[in-house]
Amino acid sequence: KAKGVATALSALYPADYEARLDESPDRDTYRGKLDALRQKTPTDAKAQSHTSSPLVFLTEGGATSYLGGCDDTVAWARARLSPSTTENGSNGICNQNDGFTKDHGFDYDVVVIGGGSGGLACSKEMAKLGAKVAVLDYVKPSPQGTKWGLGGTCVNVGCIPKKLMHTAAILGEAMRDDAAAFGWASPDVKHNWAAMRERVQNHIKSLNFQYRVALREAGISYLNKLGEFAGPNTLKVTDKKGKVTQITSARFVVAVGGRPNRLDIPGGEHAIDSDDIFSLEKAPGRVLCIGAGYIALECGGFVNGLGSSTTAMVRSILLRGFDRECVDKIQTHLVAHGVKLQIGVTPTKIEKNGDVLTVHGSDGSVNEYDTVLVATGRKADTTGLGLDNVPGAAKDVAQNGKLKAVDEQLPHAPHVYAIGDVLDGRPELTPVAIEAGLRLARRLFGAGNERMDYENVATTVFTPLEYGAIGLSEDEATESLGAENVECYISEFTPLEHALSDARSARGDAAFAKLVCDKTQDLKVIGFHYLGPNAGEITQGFSVAMRKGATYGDFLGTVGIHPTVAEEFTTLTVTKASGASAAKGGC
């Protein structure tokens, strides 16, 4: 923190302050240097008795004085950077509850650009802490013309409709594959896309409404307008009729999220993306999903489950970055459920003849579809944000358009903050955006001190065989620790609720549990992987244990809940290295 303060000061006032980080190779050298500094302040008793780090000295005009520890340094810096002593009210220190809500002369204490997961959470928390807040949220229609309401990607075209449609597909599977085994007369299951779509979209509209009410109740100004910086403290805001006005603010939080990448091939404009799929008027028919990340496989999984003949066109591998052993099982499961895979293929051209789309692949393949869904990653929505009009901010824009922030603050434009999908190198997940927004709000306007911790964030891929993961894959662990220092415990088993189904057993459906452990740290669990029903629910709880540094022994020493799939993690005994079968029978 002290280093952050010093860096911020020297970035803001290079003529007055210089931050120097002096690193010592070992403890003795460090102590020697501290003693030398202490000798420069022989009469300062506090400096002589101060033993913890950091120990901060200030050199001014050749004289050295003792400043104190971290808190003293932050207080010292705050006093120098309070709004009354700075030109535009911007303050270089992220952690500050410094009366920034007073007398700065701007319309707002803070304007949040983007009313999605991160922006809404952050703005409500800041308002609760007494700040005068405005939120801008404006949706640019997708190239196919799809629009939606307040709440951002997650609520309108992301997690919520995705999970609901995934649930629709899982329900169908249960009716087809399990119901008869449990004594239900064989149901003649037919899916009605239009009925599902209507209920899903109505649910989304009710959430849009609830968000508007919540902003009003929190005393936040909600502007359904597109924001663009016109100066360091000024935003040009444009409403849907094209009317332009301006608002000013002491600070800004950029929470503009991202939008799907476009398909840059001839005929690419005929493809839809995740902004469109959830509001299609009718069932998508024969579907090609291009991409093999979360979105392509989740959407491919549910449209296949709802009755569409589905193909996934995969450039390289499925689910890059995840545990290979688990991904291979997802791949086998998708194929067993009828999804066709074109691996090592990219599209080269799409032709549209009436309602039929003919897709040419790099392998020479030519196939006809009714719907082509492109899901090849997302791009930060910073184009047109006018960051060039904020001195320094352009330096904090990465090549991919995302923002490079330190503790959610732009180093070269310290009154501008960023959270959520717009951040470079951070997971694009709703709870990450929310948590970063809450912590930032508490640091800016409350007594909070906590930085966002982006490590060990749990995630779940809602493929038909759901996949929950935390921490490292086996490959990542082996690469960073060496194979000799990694132990993997595995088990493959049939969830009890699937045990009666002939269809599932004929297909070989199974759940899978895997713990990746660090042998050098008492078998600390550094990777958690689960394939099977309710993966999100199960993985969430274990992420608490992993945050607390749980070891394999802690897992094994925990009494399970029987009969569940989660209890499998308390009974894992087969190591991968043993070569013994991970297949489990019996109770």
**Short-list 512, 89, 536, 51, CA closest to 327:** 512
Q: 247 vs 255, which CB is nearer to ligand NDP?
A: 255
Min dist CB 136 to ligand FAD, Å, is: 4
Q: Is 293 in the site for ligand NDP (CB under 6 A)?
A: yes
Min dist CB 160 to ligand FAD, Å, is: 8
Full strand arrangement of the beta sheet holding 347-353:
347-353, 356-361, 366-369
110 token code pair: 């803070």
The whole-angstrom separation of Cα 388 and Cα 358 is: 42
Query: Taking CB within 5 to 8 Å according to partner kind, which of ligand FAD, ligand NDP, none is near residue 256?
Result: ligand FAD
Name the region of 405 (left: φ>0; alpha: ψ -120 to 50; beta: rest). Answer: beta
The whole-angstrom separation of Cα 125 and Cα 436 is: 11
Among 90, 95, 101, 376, binds ligand NDP (CB under 6 A): 376
The whole-angstrom separation of Cα 397 and Cα 57 is: 34
Element (H, E) at 174: helix 159-177
Phi and psi for 72 in degrees, rounded to 5?
A: -60, -40
Query: Taking CB within 5 to 8 Å according to partner kind, which of ligand NDP, ligand FAD, none is near residue 461?
Result: ligand NDP
Q: 414 vs 420, which CB is nearer to ligand FAD?
A: 420
Query: Taking CB within 5 to 8 Å according to partner kind, which of ligand NDP, ligand FAD, none is near residue 115?
Result: ligand FAD
Which range, of 68-76, 135-143, 371-379, 518-526, touches ligand NDP by CB under 6 A? 371-379
Q: 247 vs 290, which CB is nearer to ligand NDP?
A: 290
Min dist CB 287 to ligand NDP, Å, is: 15
User: Which DSSP state fits 155?
Assistant: H
How many CA atoms lie within 13 Å of 384's alpha carbon, on the beta-carbon side?
11
The whole-angstrom separation of Cα 114 and Cα 413 is: 19
Quick note: the x/- pattern for ligand NDP over 308-347, rule CB under 6 A, is -------xxx--x-------------------------x-
Choice among 166, 415, 498, 562 that is catalytic? 562
Active site residue 415: no
Q: 163 vs 270, which CB is nearer to ligand FAD?
A: 163
Q: 35 vs 537, which CB is nearer to ligand FAD?
A: 537
Please enumerate, as own/partner, the contacts of 359-365 that have beta carbons within 8 Å and a separation of 24 or more: 359/288, 359/313, 361/313
Question: Residue with the closest Cβ to ligand NDP?
Answer: 293
Q: For residues 179 and 189, is the Cβ–Cβ distance under 8 A?
A: no
Q: For residues 289 and 299, is the Cβ–Cβ distance under 8 A?
A: yes
Q: For residues 146 and 139, is the Cβ–Cβ distance under 8 A?
A: no
Q: 300 vs 414, which CB is nearer to ligand NDP?
A: 300
Query: Taking CB within 5 to 8 Å according to partner kind, which of ligand FAD, ligand NDP, none is near residue 137?
Result: ligand FAD
Phi and psi for 470 in degrees, rounded to 5?
A: -140, 140
Q: Which of residues 443-462 bind ligand NDP (CB under 6 A)?
A: 459-462
| Residues in touch with ligand FAD (CB under 6 A) | 113-119, 136-139, 152-154, 158-159, 162, 226-227, 255-257, 274, 295, 381, 385, 420-422, 428-431, 433
Measure the N-to-C terminal CA separation of the chain; round to a whole number of Å: 53
Residues at the contact surface with ligand NDP, assessed by CB under 6 A: 290-296, 298, 315-317, 320, 346, 375-378, 427-429, 459-462
Catalytic positions are 562
